[in-house]
Amino acid sequence: MKYEQLANDIIKNIGGKENVNSVVHCVTRLRFKLKDEDKANTSVLKDMDGIVTVMKSGGQYQVVIGNHVSDVYKAVLSVGGFDTQSSADEESEEKQGLFNKFIDIVSGIFAPILGVLAASGMIKGFNALFVALGLYANTTGTYHILQAVGDALFHFFPVFLGFTAMKKFGGNHFVGMAIGAALVYPSLSGITEGEPLYTLFQGTIFESPIHITFLGIPVILMSYASSVIPIILAAYVGSKLEKWFIKVIPDVVKSFLVPFFTLLVIVPITFIVIGPIATWISSLLGQATVWAYDLSPLLAGLILGGLWQLFVMFGLHWGFIPIAMNNLAVFGYDFILALISATSLATTGVVLGVMARTKQQKIKTLSIPAAISSIFGVSEPAIYGITLPLKRPFIITLITSAVGGGIMGATGTKVYMMGGLGVFGIPSKIGSEGLDIGFWGGIIAMGVNLVLGFILAYLFGLSKKNKDGESLKEEDNHNSTDNNQDENITSPLKGTVLSLSEVKDEAFSTGALGKGLAIDPTEGKLVSPVSGTVTALFPTNHAVGITTDNGAEILMHIGLDTVQLNGKFFKSSIKQGDRIEKGQLLIDFDVEQIKQAGFSVVTPVLITNSDKYKELILTNADNVDPGGQLIKAVIH
């Protein structure tokens, strides 16, 4: 490991890993929360090779590294054995918006198992397809074994979700699995046979027969196989209980008494309270989505199909995943995953249309693997490599996907299991009725998306320069890194110009991270001072790095210690890897709100590889507007 020795030295001189509550990093520095900052050898760290300086601010012990901070951070995590999830959660738990927190929780729970989830669904789907085609009967051993392989994960889904949910909530993963296993314990399912002891909520939609009690308390037994919401709620409550038991139980017996008491409390609570309430919520949620779908399946298909790629790009698709899986558990089918299942074929058609029309060899070369991956449901190479940069093809993809979604909505296409992506998702559309109109509607929609996407992209997807190859030379120039040219950096902000020495942050004021200027902004719009590529964008959107076409590395850091706002008051218009032009809007930020939160908005604008230039000519203006000359980097 390249930075292993540096990581060891850092951990040693901050008082050892036992002195660390948490560690995160921003665009230039490691940010430790130490139990006792007096144990840190600050002077030793400051003199250490690989460390720019050390600072203390906002309750954090900051070790300034520079541009390669992410690599050092990984080494520190590895050497120190720190938990990245808990570190990040401690930093952001209170500052994250409710919606973003919901998306983060859902993605953290489901993302680790999506691969095996899709694989299991594909096995079930192909098994159903082979029976429908008459290759073998559903009474054969082949069918039953394949069904066991494909269906096991779904039947015992609470066990798997117990692991990932408890991990996400910071609890013992195996306690989560034990909770999930209790929910699907086989002998409990047979107890519901026969006459009930009595009935609760008789005459209401929550009417529930009671077959057993726990210490005299009635237990509403339900089927939790394939369920989603009950185990997630149980894991959340269980993680809170576990943390409380960890605080009150002596260390010498924690290893077995903490899980003992956690399971002893959470499992009965889950059966008595959490499980029934969560199941009722699941049913109501399912009924609500079905009601919305039934209002107009065609409209639902047009909207979901047309907007799905946008949802994916912004991470909003995670909000639909638990609803879809809940529908599968409650009704045995889902329409959400069906209506978006032809989107990847639309992307394939659009990319093939672009490839057939353009004369640019670079685009043709990129299109072949992008189209192949899209056929199998992996559209990111096509989106970020072809359609989005060219803009028109991306819009055509959305339009075509809406058409496919509308066709499936009109024909009642549904999925009956979690399946594969792209063409591998076809078998998941086979229900108990076999190859019905919904199945064929899905096939037609995929075909239409493929053909329509190709035709529209071929006819309307490219501007003249992308058709005839005129921009190829320009594109090649964008990707060059010729450091033999002077560089003109314009102002990214409107505001007052300050020298770096006036910045109240040693990492910037000393020029340790690079030379340049600072701006005290009067407007909260950061635009690009150069043309180039976004090579660094911190998740909190408070700092962005750009490498110009000629190789200059520009860093803009909005405010001081604003990483602690965790993205609040910042909105990015770009993502890492984007090609951007001079003057293009990068980030919106609320100057007044940031100030009211107690942070400075003074923004250093640095050339981090300034040592490659003979001279930097800085503006002598007191105030600048976006686009005004700020720095000239002279190479010779």
**Separation between Cα atoms, residue 557 and residue 600, nearest integer Å:** 11
**Separation between Cα atoms, residue 27 and residue 569, nearest integer Å:** 18
Give 47's contacts (C-beta < 8 A, 6+ positions apart).
none
Q: What are phi and psi of 571, to 5 degrees?
A: -140, 120
Which residue blocks in 81-196 are alpha helix, DSSP H?
84-92, 98-110, 114-132, 141-155, 157-168, 173-183, 186-189
Catalytic residue among 20, 23, 26, 355: 26
Q: What CA dihedral angle connects 535, 539, 543 and 546, to 10 degrees? A: 10
Give 174's contacts (C-beta < 8 A, 6+ positions apart).
163, 259
**Separation between Cα atoms, residue 354 and residue 226, nearest integer Å:** 42
Residue 413 has which token pair?
């296409």
CB-side exposure of 237: number of CA atoms within 13 Å?
19
- With contact defined as beta carbons under 8 Å apart, do 302 and 414 qualify? no
Q: Are strands 615-618 and 217-219 parallel, antiparallel or unpaired?
A: unpaired
Q: What is the CA radius of gyration of the chain?
A: 29
- With contact defined as beta carbons under 8 Å apart, do 177 and 246 qualify? no
- With contact defined as beta carbons under 8 Å apart, do 413 and 445 qualify? yes
Residue 134 CA, chain-centre distance (Å), reads 42
- With contact defined as beta carbons under 8 Å apart, do 453 and 348 qualify? yes
Task: Tell me the residue length of the chain.
Answer: 636
CA-wise closest residue to 572 among 556, 588, 555: 588
**Separation between Cα atoms, residue 86 and residue 108, nearest integer Å:** 12
CA-wise closest residue to 32 among 44, 52, 51, 15: 15
Measured CA to CA in angstroms, residue 625 lies from 62, 493, 593, 622 at distances of 32, 6, 22, 11
CA-wise closest residue to 157 among 283, 326, 309, 293: 326
Tokens 């991270």, residue located: 513
Residue 13 has which token pair?
């001189």
Residue 428 has which token pair?
């998941």
Task: Put the strands of the sheet holding 525-527 in their side by side order.
Answer: 525-527, 585-589, 570-572
Residue 171 has which token pair?
């609890």
Please give the helix or strand (H or E) that residue 496 lies within, else none: strand 495-499
- With contact defined as beta carbons under 8 Å apart, do 312 and 306 qualify? no
Active site residue 561: no
Instruction: Give the active site residues.
Output: 26
